[in-house]
């Protein structure tokens, strides 16, 4: 029984405590504000985006046709009677209740609702709602924060806020809070003062940016004059800009109008335009003056007109054809001369490094014995391009080349082996000496060229009529196209141009085209060893000589 009484009294105690605590919390969260009708207003202490009118919400829930009214938190608006009502908003996990009463207030100091202050000077703002308050307590706000909590020089004396000094960022609306007690309810009267910050007034005339370059115009077309003037700040700003046409001292005022006006921190930018409906040649002889003036003076700028030179641009199709014609021509040239381009690239730009251990000969020497060379050798030499009998096969050419004759009287095909082999120490491949007779001629030639670092062809009239010699040259060109390591040099003993050579039978196309681009030297009979021919030949010879002494 005692336990039942204890639980009953505990229940009543907890119920009374909870109800009292609930009423206290609700009272703490509910605020009452008054606003003057027609004045700037924002709801303070609200971090949500919308506040819902509870009266409208309840009427909508009961089936009424009223739509919910929303009021943005922190948004500046003109207070009207329709804004009166109860509002709620969730913030920081709590539901806040607001009561807003908008009414006409005769006690308001309306002449204090707008205040103009000069930057960098001291300024003061009076609270418009101070005359409606029951006490002298005034709290000032700017951007939802108390001015006293902002780090700026200021002080509050009764209803006046002193800004010392005024900053550009002070431009905006300041709100002051005063207290009104009605029927035991404390209301906060929130009134605003719009502060306009201006720069210090100037006593200077306007200025026009310099632009004296003549303006290009087209005869028969309209033209618009544009004058941009910068005016220093004035409290009673009234810019004046005029356009004049000067014809030998006669000033004619042109019809003009203001195109734009922009306000900056220290000055205004004003643009004035005047239009000529149709430009004639007479307009090119006149001058045109823009005059800008204010209370403290004026300034002018003069320009002239000049005829615009029309540039005849080609049509789009012609432009494209002109642009792609060189590209197309280059492609055609590359396709037609692709063989020559390959040979030039491999001969002049991509000569590989030879390794003497991989080759058996330094030079494969291709030539044809001429009647003059046979005469020098006493008729003992028979052309290697003719069939050899048994007795002639035993002939040793190297023994004949050791005869003492004057070098300047010898044909090049006789002199060259002596110089390259005996004097410069290069290993030559001579078909008559270094290739075993009896094998397949074509295979022997191709194999001998592959075993050589360089191919030298002594070109003469007899050379182009000898099919075996032409085959050696053609095999060398094909090897060069396949292997860029091979070097190829032509020694011309005839003065005929490569393009004019028409032997019978005709040369292969590959040989005919290669003759015009392959590296070459011109030989003149009787040249001494100190001539440019021998110096140039020495420079083109392989840098590394083969180490093999003989091949058998």
- Tell me: the pLDDT tens digits for 349-359? 766 555 545 78
Secondary structure string (H, E, C) spanning 223-287 = EEEEEEEEEECCCCCCCEEEEEEEECCEEEECCEEEEEEEECCCEEEEEEEEEECCCCHHHHHCE
What pLDDT is stored for residue 523 in this prediction?
87
Q: How far apart are CA 154 and CA 161, in angstroms?
A: 7
- 112 in Cβ contact with 126 (< 8 Å): yes
- Tell whether the torsion through CA atoms of 480, 483, 484 and 487 is positive or negative: negative
Angle at 295 between CA 297 and CA 167, to 5 degrees: 110
Regions of the chain where pLDDT drops below 70: 1-30, 44-74, 90-93, 110, 265, 311-318, 350-357, 372-409, 438-439, 484, 496-500, 548-552
- 147 in Cβ contact with 154 (< 8 Å): yes
What pLDDT is stored for residue 61 in this prediction?
41
Q: From residue 426, how far is each of 12, 248, 420, 435, 495 by CA, in Å?
A: 127, 95, 6, 17, 28
- Tell whether the torsion through CA atoms of 495, 498, 500 and 502 is positive or negative: positive
Scanning the structure block, which residue is given the tokens 């390794």?
A: 355
Locate the DSSP E strands across 104-199: 114-118, 123-126, 139-142, 145-146, 154-157, 160-163, 172-182, 185-198
Report the chain's terminal Cα–Cα distance, integer Å: 137
Residue of 460, 459, 464, 477 lying closest to 505 (CA atoms): 464
Beta-carbon contacts of 408 under 8 Å, excluding residues fewer than 6 positions away, are 525, 526, 527, 528
Q: Which helix (H) or strand (E) holds 14?
A: helix 2-29
Residue of 34, 128, 39 lying closest to 78 (CA atoms): 39
Query: 54-61 long-range CB contacts below 8 Å, 24 or more apart?
Result: 54/85, 54/86, 54/87, 54/88, 54/97, 55/85, 55/86, 56/85
Q: Which helix (H) or strand (E) holds 33?
A: strand 30-36
- Tell whether the torsion through CA atoms of 491, 495, 499 and 502 is positive or negative: negative
Take residue 31 and report the two structure tokens written for it.
């605020």
Q: How far apart are CA 278 and CA 497, in angstroms?
A: 71
DSSP sequence for 337-348: THHHHHHHHHHH
Question: What is the per-residue burial (b if ≥16 Cβ within 10 Å, else e) of 301-322?
Answer: bebebeeeeeeeeeeeeeeeee
Residue of 337, 365, 362, 322 lying closest to 490 (CA atoms): 365
Take residue 107 and report the two structure tokens written for it.
């006690």
Q: How far apart are CA 71 and CA 66, in angstroms?
A: 16
492-526 tens-digit pLDDT = 987 766 666 777 778 888 888 888 888 989 888 77
Take residue 542 and report the two structure tokens written for it.
């392989």
Q: Kind of pairing, strands 94-103 and 85-91?
A: antiparallel
Question: What is the per-residue burial (b if ≥16 Cβ within 10 Å, else e) of 255-265?
Answer: ebeeeeeeeee
What pLDDT is stored for residue 343 in this prediction?
83
- 122 in Cβ contact with 163 (< 8 Å): yes
Residue of 462, 459, 548, 550 lying closest to 511 (CA atoms): 459
3-state secondary structure of 196: strand
Q: Kind of pairing, strands 30-36 and 256-263?
A: unpaired
Residue of 248, 306, 230, 305 lying closest to 274 (CA atoms): 305
Q: How far apart are CA 529 and CA 526, in angstroms?
A: 9
């Amino acid at each position: 029984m005692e336990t039942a009484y204890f639980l009953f009294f505990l229940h009543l105690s907890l119920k009374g405590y909870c109800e009292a605590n609930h009423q206290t919390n609700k009272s703490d969260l509910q605020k009452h504000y008054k606003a003057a009708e027609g004045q700037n207003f924002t709801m303070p202490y609200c971090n949500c985006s919308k506040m819902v009118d509870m009266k409208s919400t309840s009427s909508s829930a009961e089936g009424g046709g009223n739509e919910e009214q929303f009021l943005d938190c922190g948004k500046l608006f003109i207070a009207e009677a329709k804004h009166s009502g109860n509002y709620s908003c969730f913030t920081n996990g709590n539901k806040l209740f607001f009561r807003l009463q908008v009414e006409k207030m005769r006690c308001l100091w309306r002449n204090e609702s707008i205040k103009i202050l000069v930057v960098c000077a001291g300024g003061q703002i009076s609270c418009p709602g101070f005359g409606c308050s029951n006490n002298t307590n005034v709290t000032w706000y700017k951007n939802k924060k108390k001015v006293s909590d902002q780090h700026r020089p200021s002080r509050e004396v009764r209803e006046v806020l002193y800004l010392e000094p005024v900053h550009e960022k002070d431009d905006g609306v300041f709100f002051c809070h005063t207290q009104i007690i009605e029927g035991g309810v404390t209301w906060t009267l929130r009134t605003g003062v719009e502060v306009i910050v201006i720069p210090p007034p100037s006593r200077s005339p306007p200025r026009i940016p310099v632009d004296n370059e003549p303006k290009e115009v087209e005869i028969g077309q309209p033209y618009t004059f544009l004058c941009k003037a910068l005016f220093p700040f004035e409290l009673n700003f009234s810019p004046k800009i005029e356009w004049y046409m000067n014809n030998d001292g006669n000033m004619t005022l042109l019809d003009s109008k203001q195109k734009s006006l922009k306000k900056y921190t220290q000055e205004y930018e004003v643009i004035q335009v005047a239009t000529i409906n149709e430009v004639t040649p007479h307009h090119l002889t006149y001058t045109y003056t823009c005059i800008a003036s204010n209370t403290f003076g004026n300034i002018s700028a003069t320009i002239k007109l000049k005829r615009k030179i029309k540039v005849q641009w080609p049509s789009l199709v012609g432009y494209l054809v002109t642009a792609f014609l060189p590209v197309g021509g280059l492609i055609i040239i590359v396709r037609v001369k692709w063989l020559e381009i390959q040979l030039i690239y491999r001969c002049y730009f991509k000569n590989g490094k030879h390794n003497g251990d991989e080759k058996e000969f330094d030079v494969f020497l291709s030539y044809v014995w001429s009647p003059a060379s046979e005469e020098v050798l006493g008729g003992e030499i028979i052309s290697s391009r003719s069939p050899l009998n048994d007795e002639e096969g035993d002939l040793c050419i190297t023994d004949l080349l050791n005869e003492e004759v004057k070098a300047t009287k010898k044909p090049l095909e006789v002199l060259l082996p002596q110089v390259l082999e005996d004097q410069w120490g290069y290993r030559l491949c001579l078909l008559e000496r270094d290739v075993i007779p009896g094998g397949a001629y074509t295979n022997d030639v191709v194999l001998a060229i592959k075993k050589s670092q360089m191919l030298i062809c002594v070109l003469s009239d007899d050379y182009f009529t000898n099919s075996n010699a032409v085959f050696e040259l053609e095999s060398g060109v094909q090897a060069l196209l396949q292997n860029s390591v091979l070097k190829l040099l032509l020694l011309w003993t005839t003065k005929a141009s490569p393009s004019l050579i028409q032997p019978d039978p005709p040369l292969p196309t590959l040989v005919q085209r290669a003759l015009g681009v392959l590296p070459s030297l011109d030989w003149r009979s009787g040249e001494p060893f100190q001539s440019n021919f021998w110096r140039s030949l020495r420079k083109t010879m392989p840098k590394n000589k083969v180490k093999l002494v003989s091949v058998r």
